[in-house]
Structure 1
Amino acid sequence: MANLSMDSCGSKCLKYFIAVFNFFFFVGGLLLAGFAGYEAFNPSSTLNQMIMSLNAPILKDGLYILMAVGLFLAMISFFGCWGALGENRCLLITYLTFVLLIFILQMVGIIISLVKYKQVKETMIYDLNHNSSRFGPAYLAAVSALEMKFHCCGVTGPNNYKTIPVSCYPTTHNVKRRSASSTTGATSSLAPATTMATTMPLGEPYPDGCEAVIRPYLYAAGGVAIGILLIEVMVMIFTCCLISAIQKGYEIV
């Protein structure tokens, strides 16, 4: 066997690091595919019922895509794990090629998101202003749920609407909570929340747009994405080192 610049101990560490790393991603891919498949094909699941209530088949298509992504991730991780443990150059090269393609697609996706962000934002504001959506029927319902959850209004503020919806008003939420807590078998003294929202004075809408409210979550997601990209670069470098070591022929464990 030829002596390598990377000693046998380092080669073994690379081998088992790549194997363990891909084992966890293999399990994660299967769990992701299982979760998405359960939610997509089980009519009684909470997420499935929410999709049906919103009449948004595109969201169900998203679950199918998520399931496919999970299976694809598991397949790639299997190649990496098996290739490292079996010291199989062919499998490792296949694994490296897939990881490189995923890395390139992620970079393209990030660039497109940054370039198209302003255009998408303007389209969303236009749809809110005209009470319509080119994103599908679930869009306006999702925006209303977001406004009630994060106490915000529109994308940049209430001025995105010609007619401000009740989901932008805190009074509406208080009425709904009181109505829900007061209906305990006996007839409630309060009218349904939807009726109350139209008859009670609503006060002032939330001044902040949802963009500003969820911006910290977007930054967090961006940080996670950068972390994943760095891990992928590290894994590709380690895989190249292991392929080189196998090529030169280090001592087999």
Structure 2
Amino acid sequence: MCLLSCGACLAQIILFILNFLLSLVSLAVTGLGVYALIQVNDADLEYANTAPIIVIVVGCVFTAIFFCGYCGAFCRNKCLLSTYAAITILLATATVVFTVFIFKGVDNLKETTEDALNNTLADPNNREALNWIEATLGCCGTTGPEFYNSSIPISCCPSTMQNVQNIQQDGLNLTLLSNSTSGDLTGLCPITEAYQEGCVDVFIAFLAKILKVTGQVLIWIIIIEYVAAFLAIFLSCYIG
């Protein structure tokens, strides 16, 4: 009985600390989503609002779940602990499915996204987004500098971008970049000084790295979720 009591106290302490820390992490993720949304709006990239909004919603939901576990552990409330355990098990199961999907998706990423990226970035209406990707990821056009028939935009040329006064340190002037193939900026980026890799290959490689790291992190999250659910069930049964 004493051993069971010590186990319940240990479970309570672990759940309390774990959910308190996870609540802080979820709040930080929500804050990053808000920051990203503000940056997207400042850059006039309205079509990119979806991802930050999803991050904000997910951050808020997880904050509520972890706060439920935090309060349940602190107050030894059986109802809150049971609810937290059930939701955590569902989340852990969903995380397993999502992790398997990610690891499988890495192998098929190039085949499934290359055509879509080529069609999207080759559209003149999306040239502003392409210029932003060029300047951010260090690439040029969809396939390389030859994507542009004559004048290569300054977003393909790092040495030229540093000399343009209208590009600030805290953000890129996307209007300037998208119009850099005309007017006074024409020919400022020689093909020999431009990035030689196309943005489609660079972007896909970038996403592949993110997915691999995300998958590895999710494995640890799955372990933590199942352990937290077990501890919540154990503490709930002890209270009951």
TM-score scaled by structure 1?
0.67
Q: State the alpha-carbon separation in 2 of the partners of residues 35 and 214 from structure 1.
A: 19
CA distance in 1, matches of 2:166, 2:50: 36
Residues of 2 paired with 1:182 and 1:120: CA distance?
Answer: 33
Partner-residue secondary structure (3-state), 2:147: coil
* Deviation by residue 1:152-191 (Cα, 9 ceiling, x = unmatched): 4578xx37x9835947985x222222233899xxxxxxxx
Judge conservation of contact 2:109–2:208 (CA < 8 Å) in 1: no
> Does residue 233 of structure 2 align to residue 240 of structure 1?
yes
For structure 1, the 5+ residue unaligned runs are 184-191, 248-253
Structure 1 counterpart of 2:223, from 225, 230, 251: 230
* Contact 1:80-1:91 at 8 Å conserved across structures: yes
Contact 1:30–1:74, Cα closer than 8 Å, also in 2:
yes
State yes or no: 1:25 paired with 2:30: no
Question: CA distance change for structure 1 residues 202 and 169 in 2, over 3 Å: closer, same or farther?
Answer: farther
Deviation at 1:75, TM superposition (A): 1.6
Q: Which residue of 1 aligns with 2:158?
A: 173
**Aligned match for 1:55, one of 31, 37, 46:** 46
Q: Structure 1 residue 124: deviation in Å?
A: 3.0
Question: Which of 81, 87, 102 is equivalent to 1:113?
Answer: 102
Give the deviation of 1:94 after TM superposition.
Answer: 0.5
1:163 to 147, 153, 176: 147
Query: 1:206 aligned to 2:191?
Result: no
% identity of equivalent residues:
22
Is 1:127–2:116 an aligned residue pair? yes
- Give CA deviations for 1:46-76 in whole Å, capped at 9, x if unaligned: 34212xx2231xx323333322222211221
The answer to whether the Cα contact below 8 Å between 1:130 and 1:162 also exists between their aligned partners in 2 is no
2:81 aligned with 1:92: yes
Paired residue for 1:186? none
> For the Cα contact (< 8 Å) 2:103–2:211, is it kept in 1?
no
AA matched with 1:242: L
Q: Does residue 140 of structure 2 align to residue 150 of structure 1?
A: no
CA contact (8 A) 2:153 2:188 kept: no
Structure 2: runs of 5 or more not aligned:
169-178
**Aligned partners of 2:36 and 2:210: how far apart in 1?**
24
Going from structure 1 to structure 2, the CA distance change for 1:145 and 1:221 (only over 3 Å counts) comes to farther
CA 1:33–1:207: 2 relative to 1, 3 Å:
closer
SS at match of 2:196: coil
- String of CA shifts for 1:93-130, please: whole Å, max 9, x gaps: 11011111111222222233344455553343223444
Distance 1:212 1:27, change over 3 A: closer
Q: Does the C-alpha gap of structure 1 residues 93 and 229 become closer, same or farther in structure 2, counting only changes over 3 Å?
A: same
CA spacing shift, 1:221–1:178, aligned 2, 3 Å: same
User: Post-superposition shift, 1:10?
Assistant: 2.5
Pair 226,152 (structure 1): closer, same or farther in 2 beyond 3 Å: farther
**Structure of greater Rg:** 1
CA distance in structure 1 between the aligned counterparts of 2:147 and 2:18, rounded to whole angstroms: 52
CA–CA separation in structure 2 for the residues paired with 1:167 and 1:216: 27
Separation in 1, partners of 2:52, 2:196: 33
* Counterparts in 2 of 1:216 and 1:122: CA distance versus 1, 3 Å: closer
| Cα distance in 1 between the residues matched to 2:181 and 2:158 | 10
